């Protein structure tokens, strides 16, 4: 009875009611590509400027524990659209594969309900959707932009629009950040990178693209305002996975999975709401379906409507996973990971620890050496540290590129960068046991093939759609040629090399 009451109150908290406010809300979904928490002004970052994100947070809800279901473009985006965990989405659990068609996306459900649906730029992907019967990107029919989409909107129809920027995905134009006025000395360098000016310069180039994404989102919101539709629109601003740096993107540590998230919806969300409960990206689709007054029975996520209305919920942990990111291991092998994250601990299970988490040391088909890490000066500088770690300091090369034990456990309160693996520490044996059990329960309940067969080769065999072959990169030459070029002063022309940082 209690659960029925709860279900009804949850339903009513989001459901538009036909006699009260009969207008179904629009949905504007703004998704960056490779943007990590906490890189926004409202989270306290002192360098990157994100006035649009900060405004949405101030006028709506700011989430401090939002996690992508998987730290990789295609599986993350498939989870958003389907409301299902990556391991429930067949080949869609991999990067560069096929979009599954067995279950409906929220876009399809809303379209059937009379919504005008569309997308621009990066929707679901990379991968193929035509082969599974889609005639347009699963994120919505493609438009040149929001203006063209709105011009095609039937009179009075509610809409759902997906704006997918490719910022701050690499490659970056070096020195855009410093030349836009960002100061290297103000950058907070995560503890798994060497702290030097070239790494800082790489980070401000990443910030430069976050700022560009933020500005573009601001332009879309201004259009909504002009149309008088701002307050009847649920605006979601977030990212698909973490920053394109070593031990971040394509990893289950926080810099790979923890996402910036703000949601503005004045009809339901009080300005200045801050949500600390865990949220997983599988929660978006059931929220949108519910907000539109529709129903579904295929989704694993939990609607956010209750949280948005300020309700306290029991969301004390989040589950994370990844399979094959780029095709970077001989034999087209995946690198499976599963994890559970609570407010204090992160437990990661690596069922195939004999494989290379960042990819093989020499190229296998895509990207280059350690190809699950996008090329960058930060990556090359860490590659140059191989075998050079000093006693008492973390081995940055091993953290980013080395093999990992089957189990990892981090006290994230004491160790925010997740450098100190406690899995073999006897003092944490019971914590580890408890978290392993929680993870396995979730895997069983959600039908994860790795529950029955941890060594499943399913995602090794899934098709990798691009047909290319990359070469090993001459990373020493890349380091030699790299220059920091401040906007003014004696170094603005010839630039400052980063070789000296290696000594
Ligand atoms: Ca991405």
Identify the helix (H) or strand (E) that includes residue 449.
helix 449-452
Q: How far is the CA of 260 from the centre of ligand 1 (A)?
A: 13
Find the 36 Cα to ligand 1 centroid distance in Å.
10
Predicted pLDDT at 1: 40
Cα 148 to ligand 1 centre (Å): 25
- Give yes or no for a contact between 303 and 311, defined as CB atoms under 8 angstroms apart: no
Beta bridge partners of 97: 127
Dist. CA 55 → ligand 1 center (Å): 24
The alpha helices in 268-359, defined as continuous H runs, are 284-291, 305-308
Candidates 173, 246, 260, 160; CA nearest to 208 is: 173
Measured in Å, residue 121 CA sits from the centre of ligand 1 at 13
If you measure from the C-alpha of residue 242 to the centroid of ligand 1, how many angstroms do you get, rounded to a whole number? 7
Interval between CA 41 and ligand 1 midpoint (Å) = 21
Q: Is the pTM of this model over 0.85?
A: yes
| Residue that the structure tokens 């067949």 belong to | 90
Give the C-alpha separation, 47 to 371, whole Å: 29
What is the CA(322)–ligand 1 centre distance, in A?
Answer: 13
What pLDDT band is residue 500 in, cutting at 50, 70 and 90? low
> Which residues have a beta carbon within 5 Å of ligand 1, which is an ion?
33-34, 73, 240-241
C-alpha of residue 310 to centroid of ligand 1, in Å: 30
**191: its two tokens:** 């503890």
Could you say which DSSP state residue 244 is in? Answer: S
> Ligand 1 center to residue 30 CA distance, Å?
13
pLDDT at position 18 is 42
Per CATH, the architecture of 20-315 is what?
3-Layer(aba) Sandwich (3.40)
Least confident of 54-58, 60-64, 318-322, 386-390: 386-390
Mean pLDDT of the chain, nearest integer: 95
State the pLDDT at residue 3.
Answer: 47
Distance from residue 223's CA to the centre of ligand 1 (Å): 26
**CA of 490 relative to ligand 1 center, distance in Å:** 37
Measured in angstroms, how far is the CA atom of residue 248 from the centroid of ligand 1? 11
- Residue the block writes with tokens 């693209």: 209
**Cα(34) to centroid of ligand 1, in Å?**
4
Cα(163) to ligand 1 centroid in Å equals: 14
Q: How far is the CA of 40 from the centre of ligand 1 (A)?
A: 17
Residue matched to tokens 């090794």: 460
pLDDT in tens, 267-322: 999 999 999 999 999 999 999 999 999 999 999 999 999 999 999 898 999 999 99
pLDDT reading at 4 higher than 80: no
Residue 13 confidence class, pLDDT cut points 50, 70, 90: low
Place of tokens 């100190």: 420
Distance between Cα 74 and ligand 1 center (Å): 8
Q: Please give the distance, rounded to the nearest whole angstrom, from the Cα atom of residue 33 to the centre of ligand 1.
A: 4
Measure 4 CA to ligand 1 centroid, in angstroms.
39
CA of residue 165 to ligand 1 center, whole Å? 10
Q: Domain residues of the chain, as ranges?
A: 20-315, 322-480
Contact 75/87 with Cβ under 8 angstroms? Answer: no
> Rounded CA gap, 175 and 76, in Å?
30
CA of 179 relative to ligand 1 center, distance in Å: 25
> How many Å lie between the centroid of ligand 1 and the Cα of residue 243?
8
Spatial distance between the Cα atoms of 408 and 394, rounded to a whole number of angstroms: 16
Average pLDDT over residues 382-403: 93
End-to-end Cα spacing for the chain: 68
Per the model's pLDDT, the better-predicted residue between 360 and 16 turns out to be: 360
Query: What is the whole-number distance in angstroms between the Cα of residue 495 and the centre of ligand 1?
Result: 30
Q: How far is the CA of 5 from the centre of ligand 1 (A)?
A: 39
**pLDDT tens-digit map of 321-353:** 999 999 999 999 999 999 999 999 999 999 999
In angstroms, the CA 36 to CA 241 distance is 7
CA of 136 to the centre of ligand 1 (A): 20
Helices 197-227 & 51-59, crossing angle to 10 degrees?
A: 50
Going from the Cα of 38 to the center of ligand 1, the distance in angstroms, rounded, reads 16
In the reported structure, the alpha carbon of residue 363 is separated from the centroid of ligand 1 by a whole-number distance in angstroms of 21
- What's the confidence (pLDDT) of residue 325? 98
Closest by CA to 369, choosing from 323, 322, 329, is 329
């Amino acid at each position: 009875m209690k659960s029925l009451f709860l279900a009804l109150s949850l339903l009513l908290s989001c459901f538009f009611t036909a006699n009260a406010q009969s207008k179904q809300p629009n949905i504007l979904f703004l998704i960056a590509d490779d943007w990590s928490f906490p890189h926004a002004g409202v989270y306290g970052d002192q360098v990157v400027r994100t006035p649009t994100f900060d405004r949405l947070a101030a006028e709506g809800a700011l989430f401090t524990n939002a996690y992508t279901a998987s730290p990789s473009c295609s599986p993350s985006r498939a989870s958003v659209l389907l409301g299902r965990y990556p391991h429930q989405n067949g080949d869609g659990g991999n990067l560069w594969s096929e979009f599954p068609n067995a279950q409906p996306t929220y876009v399809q459900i809303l379209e059937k309900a009379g919504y005008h649906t569309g997308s621009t730029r990066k929707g679901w992907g990379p991968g193929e959707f035509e082969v599974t019967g889609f005639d347009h990107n699963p994120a919505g029919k493609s438009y040149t932009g929001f203006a063209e989409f709105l011009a095609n909107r039937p009179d009075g129809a509610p809409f759902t629009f997906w704006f997918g920027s490719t910022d701050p995905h690499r490659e970056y134009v070096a020195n855009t950040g410093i030349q836009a006025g960002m100061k290297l000395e103000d950058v907070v360098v995560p503890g798994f990178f060497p702290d030097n000016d070239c790494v800082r310069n790489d980070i401000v180039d990443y910030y430069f693209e976050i700022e560009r994404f933020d500005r573009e989102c601001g332009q879309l919101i201004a259009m909504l305002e002009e149309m008088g539709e701002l307050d009847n629109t649920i605006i979601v601003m977030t990212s698909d996975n973490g920053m394109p740096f070593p031990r971040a993107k394509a990893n289950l540590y926080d810099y790979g999975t923890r996402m910036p998230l703000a949601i503005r919806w004045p009809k339901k969300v009080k300005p200045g709401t801050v949500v600390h409960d865990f949220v997983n990206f599988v929660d978006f689709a059931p929220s949108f379906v519910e907000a539109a007054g529709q129903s579904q029975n295929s989704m694993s996520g939990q609607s956010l409507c209750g949280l948005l209305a300020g309700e306290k919920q029991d969301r004390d942990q989040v589950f994370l996973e990844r399979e094959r990111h780029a095709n970077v291991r001989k034999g087209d092998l995946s690198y499976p990971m599963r994890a559970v994250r609570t407010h204090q601990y992160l437990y990661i299970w690596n069922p195939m620890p004999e494989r290379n988490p960042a990819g093989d040391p020499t190229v296998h088909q895509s990207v280059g050496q350690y190809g699950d890490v996008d090329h960058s000066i930060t990556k090359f500088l860490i590659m140059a540290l191989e075998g050079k770690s000093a006693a008492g300091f973390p081995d940055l090369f091993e953290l980013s590129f080395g093999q990992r034990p089957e189990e990892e456990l981090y006290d994230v309160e004491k160790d925010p960068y997740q450098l100190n693996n406690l899995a073999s520490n006897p003092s944490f044996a019971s914590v580890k046991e408890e978290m392993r059990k929680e993870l396995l329960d979730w895997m069983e309940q959600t039908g994860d093939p790795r529950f029955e067969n941890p060594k499943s080769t399913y995602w090794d065999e899934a098709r990798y759609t691009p047909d290319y072959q990359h070469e090993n990169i001459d990373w020493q030459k890349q380091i030699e040629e790299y220059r920091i070029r401040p906007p003014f002063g004696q170094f603005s022309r010839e630039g400052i090399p980063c070789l000296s940082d290696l000594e």
